[in-house]
Amino acid sequence: MTHNAEHEHRHMSIFDCIRTRRSIRKYKDKQVPWDNVVEILQAGKYAPFAGNIFNVKFIVVKNEAKRKAIAEASVQQYWMQDAPIHILVIGEPEKAERYYGTRGTRLYTIQGAAAAIENMLLTATSLGLGSCWVGAFDEEEIRRLCNLPEHVNVQGIVTIGYADETPQAPPKHRIEHVMFFEKWYGRIEGPKTGLGYWSPYIQHAVTETHKHIKKHGKKLVEKVKEKFKKKKS
């Protein structure tokens, strides 16, 4: 990547990062600068965690043989071995359980790890790097490969590298198909809002109504005048 391209990526807005991020499964044979890896990990560290209990750890894997073994353990997703960096996100549920019981174990640990992963994916995108969130793997095999103790669990694996593909944007629902008002399937009462999709429609309807009133209003006035004249005569 040229200096200009990297400079451009660093000035991407957060929404551009969200919109342009793709799951990359083809990587160039090119090393990722270590300061970029650290920046990605820092972004993960700044994710929100319940009660500010940061209960995840990151394991960075660069070793080729280990990356191949991780790819094999991730239901034979062999494309993974070509990504020069694997980041394993490891949850420590006991820390959350201490304060929040089962909710801490089953919900908050997972949510915190997921927020950290998303932060890392978006930061990778902003740095001009490709990434992928991998959730299918044999946890016990990963545990053995990375010498994990019993009280921790694998929340996800993030592959990082320079993309060797440009996947098309997948289809997404329109916002009005995924949002409700006040309750499940609650719809808005008439067009009282300028929300996204509806604004042009409302503007068009108002303009057309004004035209209609103007056009037919004149005719109506003329008809009334005619009747009035006839009555007088």
Looking at residue 8, what is its pLDDT? Answer: 52
Collapse the DSSP code of 158 into the 3-class scheme (helix H, G, I; strand E, B; otherwise coil) and give the result: strand
Residues of the chain with CATH 3.40.109.10: 3-161
- Write out the H or E segment, with its range, that includes residue 85: strand 85-91
**Chain-wide mean pLDDT for the chain?**
88
Collapse the DSSP code of 225 into the 3-class scheme (helix H, G, I; strand E, B; otherwise coil) and give the result: helix
Answer yes or no: are the C-beta atoms of 155 and 16 closer than 8 Å.
no
Collapse the DSSP code of 23 into the 3-class scheme (helix H, G, I; strand E, B; otherwise coil) and give the result: strand
Collapse the DSSP code of 8 into the 3-class scheme (helix H, G, I; strand E, B; otherwise coil) and give the result: helix
Rounded Cα gap, residues 79 and 67, in angstroms: 10
Q: Any idea which fold 3-161 has?
A: NADH Oxidase (3.40.109)
Which two tokens mark 39?
Answer: 């920046």
Over residues 181-227, the pLDDT tens digits come to 999 999 876 655 555 555 565 666 666 666 666 666 666 667 666 76
Over residues 50-105, the pLDDT tens digits come to 999 999 999 999 999 999 999 999 999 999 999 999 999 999 999 999 999 999 99
